[in-house]
A and B are shown apart, each in its own frame.
Chain A
Amino acid sequence: MRRWWLGGLIFVPAMSWGDREEFHIEIRNHLFYPAEIQVPSNTKIKLRITNLDETPEEFDSFDLNREKVIFPKRTATIFIGPLPPGEYTFFGEYNPNSATGKVIVKGNSNAN
């Protein structure tokens, strides 16, 4: 897989994308399904979000420091983590009152 690093000066743990655990979220009727996902702590994970609606939606989270537009009928990828255990809320910027959800980061000891 092709990788692009700026300048090559910045050290990044050597870890290919394939190693990362993937999580899937769907957007239907301006809602996230599932609205809660559990991820392991202190690990970088890959979140794939598919928008099944006819209008764009923006995955937005101040807690996770991410904002990404997902165009209609497309799938977008977001990397999150490594994160300490806790709850991180996210919402759909364009339907913020109904499209809400959270990422629950479980500590390693509690992982099941």
Chain B
Amino acid sequence: MRSIRRNLVSVIIATMTLVSFYAALQGYRSSMKQANQLFDAELQTYAASLQMAANQQGVLPMPDNTTVAFQVFKDNALVFRSNNAPDQQITAFNQGFSDKNFARSRWRTFTQFHQPLGIWVVVAQRWDKRFELAEGITLASVYPTVLSLPLMAILIWLIVSQGLHSLKSIAKQLQHKKADDLEPVTINRIPLELKHIIETTNALFHRLDEAFSREKRFASDAAHELKTPLSVLKINAYNLSKAQTSSEDIALFDDGVERMSHVIDQILSLYKTSPEQFDASLEPTDLYTLCQNSIAQLYPQIDAKDQHIELHGQSCIINAQPFSIATLLQNLVTNASKYTPSQGEIYLAVEQNDKTVVLTVEDSGPGIPEQQHQRVLERFYRVGGDRHNSGIQGCGLGLSIVNQIARLHHGTLALSHSKFNSGLKVTLTLPAGEAHHA
């Protein structure tokens, strides 16, 4: 498993190590270079000071731990030397620095000719000793870099862990959540990076919670709604079994079956257009054409009640799933026809605004009292409740389906009084589609 903390800690420590070690190396290099220059300068001073020994002769004993040796030549003859220098000439008489091997070591040599005295001075310093001295000093500056690394690593680890604390806290809350616990997750002082994750997660929990309670209500409502036609059917069936078959009984039986299949159809529509099932592939669709189709399809029913229907407007493109919108229109027009008395009026209009497309459906039926406008959108709610006195078949799902489809298309649904003396006006506002879309 990839771990954000492990990756971050590794990469940060590796980068810090690389940079600090490289810096230490460069520091070491330049210190050593400077130490070298210092030692060379020291050798030059030493050579200069040996002028004093112009008249000395023999071998000068040096302390055991000395790092330098010298030779003094007069008239090309070795006259004076340190006891650690060989009695042969160390290096050729060329003024300046060079490197030579003698006395089982490599030496840095400096040769100088003192004109007035006529002497050649050769001074030498052991390479290994001067290197050791320089390195001893330089290393002291490198130690802290190396020794502080473990400390730095621990600090980085702690800092990154602390930085990821809120992430860990959220993960822990989610991990320990019970399946039916849909309460939102919370942490103190939400960091910017987690804001979206927490908001989205909590919104999801909220929707799930709503969906669960809706489903629970829906199941009991559906059972109730199916039970009424069933008991009617049962009586009808009993009557039929007594063989006192009358055409009225058969008509009632038919009615019962019709009502049940309508309820089941509506439940199916509701299910198909539920947000969980909805296929979000929207396509440019002409709302006006869909209205024409719906009216044509439902015309026999409207004609049977001798109602007058009108459609106004022109072609308007919306981004929609045509099947869902057709279901929506069917429900609206059916409702209008159902609740409007014979020879009543139904008026449809499709209107293109700047960014929206507005569909209105008005009828001259009894309308819905304003205080119930919200409730009729709930599922299985019917005006007047079970004692619905319109004598009209319905299960109270129509407007729920319409509302659900409207929301899926990012539209809004509003109810108001129609332009007729009485009646309902349904206003559906949908975002306009891309007109230039193919």
Q: Is there direct touching of A and B in the complex, by C-beta distance under 8 Å?
A: yes
Residue numbers of A with Cβ under 8 A of B are 28-29, 31-33, 35, 97-100
B104 interface neighbour in A29, A35, A97, A99, Cβ under 8 Å: A29
Decide if B101 touches A33 in the complex (CB within 8 Å).
Answer: yes
CA distance A31 to B103 in the complex (A): 11
B127 CB contacts on chain A under 8 angstroms:
97-98
Q: Does chain A have a CB within 8 A of B417?
A: no
Decide if A100 touches B99 in the complex (CB within 8 Å).
Answer: yes
B128 interface neighbour in A32, A33, A98, Cβ under 8 Å: A98
Give the residue name and chain of the B residue nearest to A98 (CB).
B106
CA distance A80 to B105 in the complex (A): 27
Decide if A35 touches B128 in the complex (CB within 8 Å).
Answer: no
Decide if B131 touches A31 in the complex (CB within 8 Å).
Answer: no
With a 10 A CB-CB cut-off, give which of A28, A31, A35, A100 has the most chain B CB atoms: A31
25 sampled A-B residue pairs with Cβ under 8 A:
A28-B104, A29-B104, A29-B105, A31-B101, A31-B104, A31-B105, A31-B106, A32-B101, A33-B101, A35-B99, A35-B100, A35-B101, A35-B106, A97-B106, A97-B127, A97-B128, A97-B131, A98-B105, A98-B106, A98-B127, A98-B128, A98-B131, A99-B106, A100-B99, A100-B106
With a 10 A CB-CB cut-off, give which of B99, B106, B128 has the most chain A CB atoms: B106
CA distance A100 to B131 in the complex (A): 14
Give the residue name and chain of the A residue nearest to B127 (CB).
A98
CA distance A28 to B131 in the complex (A): 19
A97 CB contacts on chain B under 8 angstroms:
106, 127-128, 131
Residue numbers of B with Cβ under 8 A of A are 99-101, 104-106, 127-128, 131
Give the residue name and chain of the A residue nearest to B104 (CB).
A29
B131 CB contacts on chain A under 8 angstroms:
97-98
Give the residue name and chain of the B residue nearest to A95 (CB).
B128
Besides A31-B101, A32-B101, A97-B131, 12 more A-B contacts (Cβ < 8 Å) are: A29-B105, A31-B105, A33-B101, A35-B100, A35-B101, A97-B106, A98-B105, A98-B106, A98-B127, A99-B106, A100-B99, A100-B106
A98 CB contacts on chain B under 8 angstroms:
105-106, 127-128, 131
With a 10 A CB-CB cut-off, give which of B101, B104, B127 has the most chain A CB atoms: B101
CA distance A90 to B390 in the complex (A): 111
CA distance A12 to B418 in the complex (A): 106
CA distance A35 to B98 in the complex (A): 12
B100 CB contacts on chain A under 8 angstroms:
35
Nearest chain A CB to B37 CB, angstrom units: 16
CA distance A98 to B105 in the complex (A): 7
Nearest chain B CB to A23 CB, angstrom units: 17
A32 CB contacts on chain B under 8 angstroms:
101
B101 CB contacts on chain A under 8 angstroms:
31-33, 35
CA distance A100 to B106 in the complex (A): 8
CA distance A31 to B106 in the complex (A): 7
B104 CB contacts on chain A under 8 angstroms:
28-29, 31
With a 10 A CB-CB cut-off, give which of A29, A31, A98 has the most chain B CB atoms: A98
Nearest chain B CB to A104 CB, angstrom units: 13
Nearest chain A CB to B98 CB, angstrom units: 10
B99 CB contacts on chain A under 8 angstroms:
35, 100
Give the residue name and chain of the A residue nearest to B131 (CB).
A97
B105 CB contacts on chain A under 8 angstroms:
29, 31, 98
Nearest chain A CB to B264 CB, angstrom units: 85
Nearest chain A CB to B96 CB, angstrom units: 16
Give the residue name and chain of the A residue nearest to B132 (CB).
A97
